[in-house]
Structure 1
Amino acid sequence: ALYICVPPYAHGPAEFAAVEAGVPFFVEKPLATDLRTAEEIAERVAEAGLATATGYHWRYLDTVRVARELLAGREAGLVHCYWLDRVAPPWWWVDRALSGGQVVEQATHVLDLARLLLGEVEHAYAAAVRHAGNAFATRIDDATVATLRFASGAIGTLASTCLLPCKHRAGLQVFADGLALDISESELVTHAGEDLRHLPADQQAAKTRADRAFIDAVQGRAADIRAPYAEALRTHRLGCAIAASVAEGRPVTLEEEP
């Protein structure tokens, strides 16, 4: 088996080599800086029937399981996703051509949970800003906002920025019939009527579960892989659609899978 932990711009050769050799692989997110590379990898993985897993470890948080249970049978109408942070340390992060940009590389975690909890997004419209005084202005956006329309009829927003000196917050808020959820990597806050609860989340345990599931699959045991490559591709499509909307200045419709 193989773990592929390369910068976003370097995806492709390792995955293609793994498929050619018939080697199962775990790949870090994002899947690529672009959509075409990830789509081609997904096609070859499907043809080969390989076991794969991806680094969307938020799906393995116990608090996300609780959130899904609380939402079962309720109609979620609104989600607000946010990633409000600083410029990430890696040298390649500040160049969209190398990282894919903040939405594709970083906020992809909260977009993934939005899909998990509310279903697929049909339409996305986004705008971004770059300040002239920002040393990275020619290479990466300072802030991005997006509106999302889900197939279920729910609506959502995404707000991301890297203008801050340190991480402010990252997560999402979900509003359903009689229920509000505030989900982050560190806790779940539930608000139903007068009942307000704070449930801590174990980030390290979630990462360990993601690794364990992949290893179990490789060793032929029952495995709980929650984000195989094909599933992660759906999240990557959403991030790329938001980036395309920013670049083209228009709403983008996500294509239905054949």
Structure 2
Amino acid sequence: MPATDPFNVVFLGAGNIMFGSDEGPWNHSARFEKKLGDRFRMLAVVDPNLPRVHQTIATKRTDPAVRHAYLNTEVYGTLDDLIAAYKGKEDTIRVFVIGLPPAFRGGVTTGTDFELRVSKAFPNAHLFIEKPVSTGSLEDAFKLGEILSQNIPRIVSVGYMMRYLRAVSHVKKIIDEQKLIVMATNARYACAYPSCMKPDWWDKSLSCGPIVEQATHFCDLSRFFGGPVDLGSVQARALEWNEPAGKLTKIHPGVKEETIPPENRIPRATTAIWKYKTGAVGHLTHIVALQGASYSCELEIFADGYMFIIEDPYNTPRLRIRSPLSDEEEVIVCKDDDPFLEEVSVFIDAIENKDNYIVRSPFIDACETYALTCAIRIASERK
């Protein structure tokens, strides 16, 4: 019998990734609503921008389809306020969705220890954490991962939603069935930069730059297929903002790049190569160049006799496959694919079935992706 009991959730952070925006398909609240239906209860939202949160909740209450989930939602400005309010009733919260900026999480020191504070105050709650796991100390991120993994019943999932694409699942299935070993991965991520409207995104001191913040998805997918990376093999080069080829003409008017210290301005293109521990090779190119609204992204995976190309993962993903059976490519169009919904669905299923192994992006593994992106950034800035 399907469960019918209320499923209580708290959102830590109320930005675009949590409640949606015009910039992209991300919107965790919509996925929890769809997955849980009448069971979903948003117990509380924690965010310092209280007027925005109150307006968001008020809007949700006008929608008859989801009004039940937000009727009793409480709003808090800080985590300390939430902890105080739930003293003695900690176990009423089943899930925390942590979507505040990575500068405030992913660590074990004061100011970066958000997950640690949540896990201590609410030891039985499960955690869904946005990517990247941190923009701080890599060593501290791994320390946090070790701490979180010690609480075995707790499910922890990191928001690398592209691992849940149907095209990705199909490629994984073929690789496993044919007992293939990946020989090479080649990722390209070209963003439409006028839609990058957050000033922090353009400041490396705040976002860690586009490799850590954005290309992390394709570094993660590359690792998902290629396996562990030899970080000592990473080499990278970058086109900087002040080089002749680095001039951009359509930066969003809300972004005043000239006010960002020159040393903190982001590169326009970064290309990197590395070796996987199997001996396979990996390649990534990230480009801040396209205008309009649509990104251009794809990942190539090669193995003996096989080529897989995953195209347009944000919109209508397509999978092209060439196999030993024919030189002609098989093309699979994955219409109506929603990896955001799938990752939330798997996370909830893992909680209700007490099955940690179905989560495709555990925290420690996400730390390995953070390590790769940091290595690429450092190598690209090396003179």
Give the deviation of 1:203 after TM superposition: 6.5
Match of 2:226 among 118, 138, 141: 118
**Deviations 1:223-247 (CA, angstroms, capped at 9, x unpaired):** 6211111111111111111112123
The two structures have a TM-score, normalised by structure 2, of 0.60
**1:141 maps to 2:267:** yes
Where structure 1 has 5 or more consecutive residues not aligned to the other structure, the ranges are: 250-258
* Code of the aligned partner of 2:212: V
Equivalent position to 1:237, from 338, 363, 371: 371
Deviations 1:185-236 (A, max 9, x none): 1121112232312212357532112112222333354462111111111111
Where does residue 338 of structure 2 map in the other structure? 205
Local SS of the residue matching 1:30: coil
Aligned match of 1:60 in 140, 164, 176?
Answer: 164
Tell me: CA distance 1:203–1:173, structure 2 relative to 1, closer, same or farther (3 Å). farther
Judged with a 3 Å threshold, the aligned counterparts in structure 2 of structure 1 residues 103 and 78 are, in CA distance, closer, same or farther, namely: same
For structure 2, list consecutive stretches of 5 or more residues without a partner in the other structure. 1-94, 106-111, 249-256
Distance 1:140 1:242 in 2: 14
Q: Distance in 2 between matches of 1:190 and 1:4?
A: 36
Comparing 150-159 with 72-81, greater Cα deviation is found at 72-81
In structure 2, what is the equivalent of residue 217 of structure 1?
A: 350
Determine the structure 2 residue equivalent to 1:187. 318
What one-letter code is carried by the residue in structure 2 that aligns with 1:95? Answer: D
- Give the root-mean-square deviation of aligned CA atoms: 2.1
| Aligned position for 1:76 | 182
Using the alignment, how far apart are the partners of 2:103 and 2:336 within structure 1?
Answer: 26
Query: Which residue of 2 is the match for residue 159 of structure 1?
Result: 285
Higher relative contact order by CA 8 Å / sep ≥ 6: 1 or 2? 1
CA contact (8 A) 2:321 2:329 kept: yes
CA apart distance, 1:76: 2.5
Per the alignment, do residues 190 and 220 of structure 1 end up closer, same or farther by CA in structure 2, a change over 3 Å counting?
Answer: closer
Q: Which one has a bigger Cα radius of gyration?
A: 2
Tell me which amino acid in the other structure corresponds to 1:15. E
Q: Mean alpha-carbon deviation: is it higher for 130-139 or for 76-85?
A: 130-139
The two structures have a TM-score, normalised by structure 1, of 0.88
Query: 1:54 Cα deviation (Å)?
Result: 0.8
> Which one of 134, 154, 175 corresponds to residue 32 of structure 1?
134
Whole-angstrom CA distance in 2 between matches of 1:175 and 1:57: 22
In 1, are the aligned partners of 2:166 and 2:337 still within 8 Å (CA)?
no
Q: Distance in 1 between matches of 2:144 and 2:197?
A: 28
Q: Work out the number of aligned pairs and report it.
A: 249
Deviation digits for residues 104-163 of structure 1, max 9, x if unmatched? Answer: 111111111111111111021111121324547642111101011111111121100112
- After the TM superposition, which of the residue ranges 131-140 and 149-158 deviates more from structure 2? 131-140
Q: Equivalent residue for 1:254?
A: none
* Rounded Cα–Cα distance in structure 1 between residues aligned with 2:187 and 2:119: 34
